[in-house]
C-alpha cells in the first residue's frame, strides 16, 4: 500500500499558497498513491476552507482528514464539534487511526487566536482501546494527530511530551509490531523514538510561505515537502520525507545557527541515523537554544576546516536505506534568522 501524508497547507496566506498547493497535488499524483492523509491546517482565513475543498474534490485518490488547530481558528469547526472528529479506518493493507486531540480553552488576551490546547483525554484513550481491541498486533497501524506527541528536546510540558496524555495512548500501541505516529503542526521535520515506536513529524507543504513564498525553508532548515509511506505485505512500514518544488534540495544541506556555527542538516535524520563525511563518522548534535523553534535532532557537527570545501556525505538510515550526496564548496548554508 502506498500512502501520501501531507500537512499544513495554509491556503490564502502569504505568497503563492494556491499555486503551491496545486503544484503539491500534482507531485502527489505522480507518486500514484492508494490513499492520502491530510494532517490538518487548511489555513487561518475562512477562505482557505473552500479553496482546499475545491482542490481535494478534484482528486481521484481518497483523502483522510485530521483536523488541525487552524480549523478551530478559521471557523470551520464550531465549539460543539471540537475533539469529536476521531476516526478509525480498517483498510486492506493498513489500519489508520485519526485522533482529534484538541480541546477548546478561553484564549489569553495576548494571543486571542490560541483558543485550543492539545490532549488525548481519557475518553479518547478509552475509544482508542475499543477500536484496537479487535486488531491483530502484527497488522500495520498508522496513528495520526495534528500535534506531535514528543519533540527531541524535553520541554517538560506534559511529562516530556508535547501532547497531554500521550503516555497513556502510547501504552495502547506499544505491543503492535508495525506502528508509526504521524503529525505536523510545527512546520519541522523530525523522527523521534519512544522505545521502538517512531513518532514522525513532517514539514509543512507551505514551509514558511507567508514570509518568502513557494520556496520558503522552515526554521529547522527543512524544505517544504510531504511524506511517502509504503506498507509491505508483511506489514512493514517504511517512510521517506520528500521535498517539494525543487529537486535540488536533495536530502542534506548546511545550517548555520544564530551563534554562527555551521552544521550538517539531514532533513529526515533521527538519533538512530549514521552520517559520514568521506569515511569519517560525524557526531550528532542537538540545537537546544530553540532558534525560532528549532529543537530537532537532525543535525551533525562538521569539522571547521572542511567548511567551504566540497563535502561528500553518506547517510545510513536505520531501515537500511543509504544515500550519498555531494555538497559543492560554494553551497550556501541556510540561516534561521
pLDDT tens digit string along 59-115?
A: 999 999 998 988 887 777 777 777 678 999 999 999 999 999 877 767 677 766 666
* Phi, psi at 218, each rounded to 5°: -80, 170
**Which run of H or E residues covers position 167?**
helix 166-173
Cell numbers standing for residue 44: 487561518
The answer to whether 13 and 44 have CB atoms below 8 angstroms apart is yes
CA distance 63 to 226: 14
- Spans of all domains in the chain: 2-247, 251-327
Nearest Cα residue to 132 out of 101, 102, 165, 96: 96
So what's the pLDDT on residue 75?
75
Using the 8-state DSSP alphabet, how is residue 123 labeled? H
150: left (phi over 0), alpha (psi -120 to 50) or beta: beta
pLDDT tens digit string along 166-195?
A: 889 999 999 999 999 999 988 889 999 989
Cell numbers standing for residue 100: 482529534
Contacts 24+ apart (CB under 8 A), 316-322: 316/273, 316/274, 316/275, 316/276, 317/268, 317/269, 317/270, 317/273, 318/270, 318/272, 318/273, 319/238, 321/238, 321/240
For residue 26, the SS3 value is: helix
Nearest Cα residue to 141 out of 188, 179, 190: 179
* Phi, psi at 209, each rounded to 5°: -75, -5
Ranges under pLDDT 50 in the chain: none
So what's the pLDDT on residue 218?
86
Third-level CATH fold of 2-247: Purple Acid Phosphatase; chain A, domain 2 (3.60.21)
So what's the pLDDT on residue 103?
78
CATH-assigned architecture of domain 251-327: Sandwich (2.60)
The answer to whether 223 and 246 have CB atoms below 8 angstroms apart is yes
Amino acid at each position: 500500500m502506498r500512502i501520501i501524508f501531507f500537512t499544513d497547507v495554509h491556503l490564502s496566506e502569504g505568497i503563492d499558497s494556491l499555486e503551491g498547493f496545486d503544484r503539491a497535488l500534482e507531485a502527489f499524483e505522480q507518486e500514484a498513491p492508494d490513499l492520502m492523509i491530510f494532517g490538518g491546517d487548511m489555513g487561518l482565513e475562512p477562505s482557505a476552507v473552500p479553496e482546499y475543498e475545491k482542490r481535494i474534490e478534484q482528486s481521484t485518490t481518497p483523502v483522510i482528514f485530521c483536523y488541525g488547530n487552524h480549523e478551530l481558528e478559521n471557523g470551520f469547526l464550531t465549539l460543539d464539534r471540537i475533539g469529536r472528529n476521531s476516526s478509525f479506518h480498517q483498510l486492506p493493507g493498513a489500519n489508520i487511526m485519526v485522533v482529534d486531540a484538541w480541546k477548546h480553552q478561553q484564549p489569553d488576551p495576548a494571543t486571542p487566536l490560541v483558543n485550543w490546547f492539545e490532549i488525548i483525554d481519557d475518553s479518547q484513550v478509552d475509544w482508542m482501546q475499543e477500536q484496537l481491541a479487535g486488531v491483530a498486533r502484527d497488522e500495520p497501524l498508522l496513528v495520526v494527530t495534528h500535534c506531535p506527541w514528543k519533540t527531541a528536546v524535553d520541554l517538560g510540558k506534559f511529562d516530556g511530551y508535547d501532547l497531554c496524555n500521550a503516555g497513556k495512548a502510547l501504552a495502547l500501541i506499544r505491543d503492535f509490531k508495525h506502528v508509526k505516529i504521524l503529525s505536523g503542526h510545527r512546520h519541522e521535520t523530525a523522527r523521534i523514538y519512544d522505545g521502538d515506536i517512531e513518532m514522525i513529524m513532517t514539514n509543512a507543504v507551505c514551509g514558511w510561505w507567508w514570509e518568502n513564498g513557494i520556496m520558503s525553508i522552515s526554521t529547522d532548515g527543512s524544505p517544504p515537502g510531504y511524506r511517502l509511506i509504503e506498507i509491505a505485505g508483511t506489514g512493514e512500514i517504511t517512510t521517506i520525507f520528500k521535498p517539494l518544488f525543487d529537486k535540488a534540495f536533495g536530502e542534506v544541506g548546511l545550517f548555520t545557527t544564530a551563534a554562527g556555527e555551521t552544521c550538517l542538516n539531514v532533513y529526515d535524520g533521527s538519533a538512530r541515523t549514521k552520517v559520514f563525511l568521506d569515511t569519517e563518522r560525524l557526531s550528532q548534535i542537538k540545537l537546544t537554544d530553540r532558534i525560532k523553534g528549532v529543537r530537532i535532532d537532525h543535525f551533525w557537527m562538521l569539522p571547521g576546516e572542511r567548511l567551504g570545501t566540497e563535502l561528500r556525505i553518506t547517510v545510513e538510515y536505520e531501515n537500511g536505506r543509504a544515500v550519498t550526496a555531494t555538497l559543492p564548496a560554494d553551497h550556501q548554508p541556510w540561516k534561521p534568522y
